[in-house]
């Protein structure tokens, strides 16, 4: 609450009561029971916050109340109703007051005093960053956190946060710019957390300026920091063990997961004594080292042929076996081993009850295709029309109409 200004005589067309030459009397302690609230106080809600009540209960009322005499000679409060109410709740016996006897007969002046003392146009509260700076200055001047907590009525966690914000460097404040005066204490705490890292501060400021979820941005920065620290720890641990660490997989090197030694899997433990051992961290996973060997053949290792040497293993095609769809339905394959012909054909029986595969080239000529271009397993079974007949309008070769029981 600002200090009460000294009021002198006012001259205008209408005569105003003149105050004493010395102005209001010096502050003095007056009993709470002697004070009464102004009957015309325009502040309906005193808004007695827990912090305010705790502060008054701990250190009392520090800013004097402005009072005057009422018609009955009692003491009436002009300005300081919140402090008086908090003092009553705290059980204080006395509060400091400034008696302005000149205002006793000046009702208009009493209301003007209320306005000047409480209107935002004549006073401006601290912004969160200014509050933090004041608390940090008090702490630097010798006030302990306990004293700050009791004097301000704030929680210990809030005091800790405010002190961290107050210690924020000028560089971080400059990065926030005019935005700093609009931020809450928690938002300022995020800036203080990354103080000293210009890139991180810029990310937080950009998120605040653009209205993004700043907590998400801060958490991503924390995770990146933790991952970088863990990566450096793993790298140092590997280098201390004598394992070369490279930025990428060297030319000619092969990952251990693709190698075997004497028929056994080549693990990092089994590869410890190999002169070609090495490790690199993929760019997409900085926490999982990948072990490799720079010269597998030279060190007696072999590449897994089934996985990496596909030319040595014949590939099984659909023409050489049952199709997956036919197998799931328990039906014979669509083509025989010769490729391109219905699988139901064979030199022994054109249409056996149980089809079997024949060696390539041994299948006897079979009916070619029906009018829709689909292979014919049985005569005329592939369409509602006989083979060779033109397709009906609107038929699609991908889904041809079939006769009941057709198994093509």
Q: Which residues of 84-93 are buried (b: 16+ CB within 10 A; e: fewer)?
A: bbbbeebebe
Average pLDDT, integer, range 213-238: 93
- First and final CA of the chain: distance in angstroms? 94
* CB hemisphere CA count around 61 (13 angstroms): 30
Give residue 123's Cα distance to chain centre: 38
- Read off the pLDDT band of 282 (50, 70, 90): very high
Report pLDDT for 177: 77
The C-alpha angle 284, 290, 296, rounded to 5 degrees, equals 135
Report pLDDT for 375: 52
The least confident of 47-51, 178-182, 206-210, 345-349 is 345-349
Higher pLDDT, 1 or 51: 51
What the block records as the tokens of 300 is: 């007696």
Q: Where are the domains of the chain?
A: 28-118, 128-220, 241-308
Percent of the chain at pLDDT above 70?
Answer: 69
Following CA atoms 169, 175, 177, 180 in sequence, which dihedral angle do they give, to the nearest 10 degrees? Answer: -60
Q: Following DSSP, what letter does each residue of 353-365 receive, concatenated?
A: SS-----TT-PPP
Average pLDDT, integer, range 71-90: 93
Higher pLDDT, 377 or 172: 172
| 136-177 per-position pLDDT tens digit | 999 999 999 999 999 999 999 999 989 989 888 888 888 877
CA distances to 35, 143, 243, 263, 304 from 116, in Å? 21, 32, 75, 92, 87
CA distances to 4, 115, 116, 117 from 121, in Å? 16, 9, 8, 10
Q: Is the pLDDT of residue 87 over 60?
A: yes
| 319-358 per-position pLDDT tens digit | 444 344 444 444 444 444 444 444 444 444 444 444 444 4
Average pLDDT, integer, range 69-95: 93
Give, for 245, the enclosing helix (H) or strand (E). strand 245-246
- Read off the pLDDT band of 242 (50, 70, 90): very high
| 99-122 per-position pLDDT tens digit | 999 899 899 999 999 999 888 888
Q: Is the pLDDT of residue 310 over 50?
A: no
The least confident of 134-143, 146-155, 264-273, 379-388 is 379-388
Report pLDDT for 227: 94
Report pLDDT for 44: 85
Report pLDDT for 139: 92
Pick the CATH number of 28-118 from 3.30.160.100, 3.90.1530.10, 3.40.50.12780, 3.30.9.10: 3.90.1530.10
| 3-44 per-position pLDDT tens digit | 333 333 333 333 444 444 456 778 899 999 999 999 999 888
Q: Is the pLDDT of residue 65 over 90?
A: yes
Percent of the chain at pLDDT above 90?
Answer: 46
């Amino acid at each position: 609450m600002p200090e009460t200004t000294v009021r002198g005589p006012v001259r205008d067309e209408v005569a105003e009561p003149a105050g004493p030459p010395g102005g209001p009397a010096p502050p003095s302690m007056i009993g709470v029971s002697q004070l009464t609230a102004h009957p015309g106080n325009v502040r309906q809600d005193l808004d007695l916050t827990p912090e305010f009540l705790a502060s008054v209960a701990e250190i009392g009322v520090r800013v004097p109340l402005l009072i005057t005499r009422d018609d009955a000679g009692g003491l009436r409060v002009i300005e300081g109703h919140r402090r008086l109410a908090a003092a009553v709740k705290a059980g204080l016996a006395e509060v400091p007051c400034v008696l302005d006897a000149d205002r006793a007969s000046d009702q208009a002046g009493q209301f003007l005093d209320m306005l000047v003392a409480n209107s935002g146009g004549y006073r401006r509260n601290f912004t969160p960053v200014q509050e933090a700076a004041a608390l940090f200055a008090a702490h630097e001047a010798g006030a302990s956190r306990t004293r700050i907590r009791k004097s301000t009525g704030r929680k210990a966690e809030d005091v800790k946060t405010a002190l961290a914000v107050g210690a924020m460097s000028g560089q971080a404040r400059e990065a926030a710019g005019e935005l700093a005066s609009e931020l809450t204490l928690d938002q300022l705490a995020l800036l203080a957390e990354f103080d000293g890292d210009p890139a991180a501060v810029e990310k937080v400021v950009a998120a605040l300026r653009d209205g993004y979820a700043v907590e998400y941005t801060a958490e991503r920065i924390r995770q990146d920091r933790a991952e970088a620290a863990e990566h450096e720890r793993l790298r140092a641990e590997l280098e201390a063990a004598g394992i070369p660490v490279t930025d990428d997989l060297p030319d000619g090197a092969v990952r251990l997961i693709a190698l075997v030694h004497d028929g056994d899997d080549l693990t990092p433990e089994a590869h410890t004594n190999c002169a070609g051992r090495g490790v690199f961290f993929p760019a997409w996973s900085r926490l999982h080292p990948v072990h490799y060997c720079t010269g597998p053949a030279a060190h007696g290792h072999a590449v897994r042929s089934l996985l990496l040497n596909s030319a040595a293993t014949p590939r099984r095609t659909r023409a050489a076996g049952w199709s997956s769809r036919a197998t799931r339905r328990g039906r014979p394959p669509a083509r025989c081993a010769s490729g391109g012909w219905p699988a139901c054909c064979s030199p022994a029986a054109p249409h056996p009850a149980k089809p079997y595969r024949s060696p390539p080239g041994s299948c006897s000529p079979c009916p070619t295709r029906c009018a829709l271009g689909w292979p014919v397993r049985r005569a005329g079974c592939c369409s509602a029309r006989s083979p060779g007949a033109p397709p009906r309008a609107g038929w699609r070769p991908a889904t041809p109409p079939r006769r009941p029981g057709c198994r093509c």
